[in-house]
Structure 1
Amino acid sequence: MRYLVDVLNGFSAFGEFSGETDNGGMVVHLRFRADQWEIENFYGKFNSRPGRAERERATQFLVSAGIVERPVVKNPSGPWDALRRINARWMYEVDDDG
């Protein structure tokens, strides 16, 4: 349901990229951010992670079509950040409310 609402609102899109082998195909998840489409993720059979070579081929194709790669964000490394990455939905007593 999460993806359906984003697709209907125009914030997400999905496409299929065919690989060189029968198992090389993948689903491409795109997100619309900052007035441009951005690669969100790739999904193989059973939501597995496709191989690096296939992801790179798909990325090259998408970039040539004007879709940008998602910038790499370095995760913070404070004492509570690992816990936040595991369960980002919860506020903890150590969090500042501003």
Structure 2
Amino acid sequence: MAATPADIKPVLNRLRRAQGQLNAVIAAVENGGKCRDVVIQLAAVSSALDKAGFQIISTAMQKCITDPDDDTDPMTVDELQKLFMTLA
């Protein structure tokens, strides 16, 4: 992903949050946590990962639109659309 540090920071924050939530899920399963709590935490992990993915794709789409001749990360609009749909 060819992006600026300002683009990367929020994505990394989301991924780190998801990592912490996943660690909590693993600990809960290992320690016999309540099913409801595990599933709620797992849903939070899934949501955080989805949001990070959407943010990455959104950044790529903006770059594609504002600088279509930049070939540092060449993706067509169709490829971006397919990536977006994999998260939907």
Q: What band does the TM-score fall into relative to the shorter chain?
A: under 0.3
TM-score normalised by the chain length of structure 1:
0.25
The structure in which a higher percent of residues are helix is 2
Which structure: greater strand fraction? 1
Q: TM-score, normalised by structure 2?
A: 0.27
Higher relative contact order structure (alpha carbons within 8 Å, sequence separation ≥ 6): 2
